[in-house]
C-alpha cells in the first residue's frame, strides 16, 4: 500500500520534471525563471518563487533537500549583514558557522540567491574571496548544466 509520504514524493517528482522539461518559447526561454528552475531541479525550497502555489503553504516543503528554514536563516543573516554595511563573511566563514556538512546546501542556496538577482557584485566578490573550488560556480550564468537529473 502506498503511504501518503510516498505519494507526495511521487507528486513532487512529477512537478519537478514538469518544471525542468517545460517547453521553451521562440526565444528559448522557459515559462519559469532560471532561479525557480534551479531551485526545483536541485530540490531547494523555492522561497523567492512562492507565487506558483498561491497563498497556501508549499505542499512540497517536506520533499526539499534544502528547507525554507535553512534558506531563510542563511540569507536572512547575510541580508542583515549587507544592509547594515558590515563586512560580508567569506564562504569559509559561513561554512564554519553552519558546519562543513552543509557545504552543498550553502552553495546551492547562494546560487539560488544569485540567480534571483539578490545582492550586488561586491557582496558576491566578498563571499567568493575565500571559498572551495566548487563554490566558484555560484555567480556563473545559468545553463542547462545547472540541472541535475539523478
Which of the two residues, 114 and 34, has the higher pLDDT score?
114
pTM of the model: 0.84
**What are the φ/ψ torsions at residue 105 (nearest 5 degrees)?**
-65, -40
The count of domains in the chain is 1
Share of the chain above pLDDT 70, in %: 86
Residue 40: closest CA among 56, 21, 19, 23: 19
Instruction: Please check the confidence at residue 22 and state whether its pLDDT lies above 80.
Output: no
Residue found by looking up cell 523567492 in the block: 48
Contact, 138 vs 110, CB < 8 A?
yes
Q: Of 13-17, 47-51, 53-57, 126-130, give the range with the top mean pLDDT.
A: 126-130
- 86: containing domain: 4-146
Amino acid at each position: 500500500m502506498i503511504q501518503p509520504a510516498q505519494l507526495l514524493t511521487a507528486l513532487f517528482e512529477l512537478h519537478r520534471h514538469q518544471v525542468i522539461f517545460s517547453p521553451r518559447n521562440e526565444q528559448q526561454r522557459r515559462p519559469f525563471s532560471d532561479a525557480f528552475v534551479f531551485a526545483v531541479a536541485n530540490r531547494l525550497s523555492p522561497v523567492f518563487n512562492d507565487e506558483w502555489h498561491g497563498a497556501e503553504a508549499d505542499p512540497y516543503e517536506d520533499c526539499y533537500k534544502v528547507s525554507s528554514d535553512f534558506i531563510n536563516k542563511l540569507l536572512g543573516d547575510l541580508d542583515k549583514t549587507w544592509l547594515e554595511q558590515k563586512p560580508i563573511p567569506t564562504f569559509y566563514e559561513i561554512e564554519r558557522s553552519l558546519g562543513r556538512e552543509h557545504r552543498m546546501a550553502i552553495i546551492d542556496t547562494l546560487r539560488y540567491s544569485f540567480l534571483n538577482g539578490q545582492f550586488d557584485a561586491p557582496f558576491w566578490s566578498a563571499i567568493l574571496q575565500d571559498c572551495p573550488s566548487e563554490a566558484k560556480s555560484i555567480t556563473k550564468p545559468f545553463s542547462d548544466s545547472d540541472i541535475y537529473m539523478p
